[in-house]
Amino acid sequence: MSSFAEFGNDLYTGKRSIDIVSRQKTWYAVSAVLLVLATIGLFGKGLNVGLEFRGGSEFRVSSVTSTDGFESRGKEAVRTLDAGSDVKVSRLGTNTVRIETETFDSTKTDQVKVALSREFKVPVNKITASTIGPSWGASVSQKAITALIWFMVLVSVVLALYFRTWKMALAALVALAHDLFITVGIYALAGFQVTPASVIGFLTILGYSLYDTVVVFDKVRENTLAAEGNGRLSYSQAANQAVNQTLVRSINTSVVALLPVASILFIGIWLLGPGTLLDLSLALFVGIAVGTYSSIFIATPVLADLREREPAMQELKKRAERYQAAQSRRAATVPSVDGLGAQDGEDLDGTDIQDTVPVPAGSRASASGRPLHPYVQSGPRNQPKRPPKSKR
Minimum CB–partner distance for residue 11 and other proteins (Å): 10
Minimum CB–partner distance for residue 123 and other proteins (Å): 20
Q: Which is nearer to other proteins, 44 or 137 (CB)?
A: 137
Q: Which is nearer to other proteins, 87 or 316 (CB)?
A: 87
Q: Which is nearer to other proteins, 24 or 292 (CB)?
A: 292
Q: Does the CA dihedral 376-379-381-382 come out positive or negative? A: positive
Q: Which is nearer to other proteins, 190 or 258 (CB)?
A: 258
Q: Which is nearer to other proteins, 187 or 316 (CB)?
A: 187
Q: Which is nearer to other proteins, 35 or 155 (CB)?
A: 155
Minimum CB–partner distance for residue 318 and other proteins (Å): 26
Minimum CB–partner distance for residue 297 and other proteins (Å): 19
Minimum CB–partner distance for residue 309 and other proteins (Å): 25
Minimum CB–partner distance for residue 211 and other proteins (Å): 5
Q: Which is nearer to other proteins, 28 or 323 (CB)?
A: 323
Contact between residue 205 and residue 284 where contact means Cβ atoms under 8 Å apart: yes
Minimum CB–partner distance for residue 342 and other proteins (Å): 5
| Pairwise CA distance, residues 146 & 383, whole Å | 71
